[in-house]
Amino acid sequence: MSKIADVPYGFGDVVNIAVSSMPEMKKGPGRSPVQSQDIVKVMFIQAYFGMPNRIAQGFFRLFGEKLGISSEFSYKTIERG
């Protein structure tokens, strides 16, 4: 169980590198876009544990505070990521 608790700490530098290579999202009509770094963090957790989108959303709720995720989003947002 300690391995699972320590996983989010290793993502900081990797997420910063991944997000810096992504194009900036432009503000358009409708709902504000979810921050790219939040989606990348959840996708790293998803890839690390090899889980589907809906289960990744559950892990996002579990680890959200530890990962520093500032917004809530659905499994469809993870899928689109």
Cα(11)–Cα(51) distance, integer angstroms: 17
Q: In the structure encoding, which two tokens stand for residue 51, read together?
A: 């889980």
Closest among 70, 5, 21 to 41, alpha carbons compared:
70
- Judge whether 27 lies within some domain: no
- Judge whether 16 lies within some domain: yes
Cα(51)–Cα(45) distance, integer angstroms: 9
**Domain of 45, in residue numbers:** 2-21+34-80
- Judge whether 41 lies within some domain: yes
- Judge whether 29 lies within some domain: no
pLDDT at site 52: 92
Number of domains observed in the structure of the chain: 1
56: exposed, middle or buried (Cβ count in 10 Å: 0-12, 13-18, 19+): buried
- Judge whether 28 lies within some domain: no
- Judge whether 9 lies within some domain: yes
Model pLDDT for residues 4-56, shown as the tens digit of each residue? 666 666 666 677 777 777 666 667 777 777 777 788 888 888 888 898 988 88
- Judge whether 6 lies within some domain: yes
Model pLDDT for residues 52-71, shown as the tens digit of each residue? 988 888 888 887 777 777 77
> Which CA distances in Å does 79 have to 4, 39, 56, 59?
23, 10, 10, 15
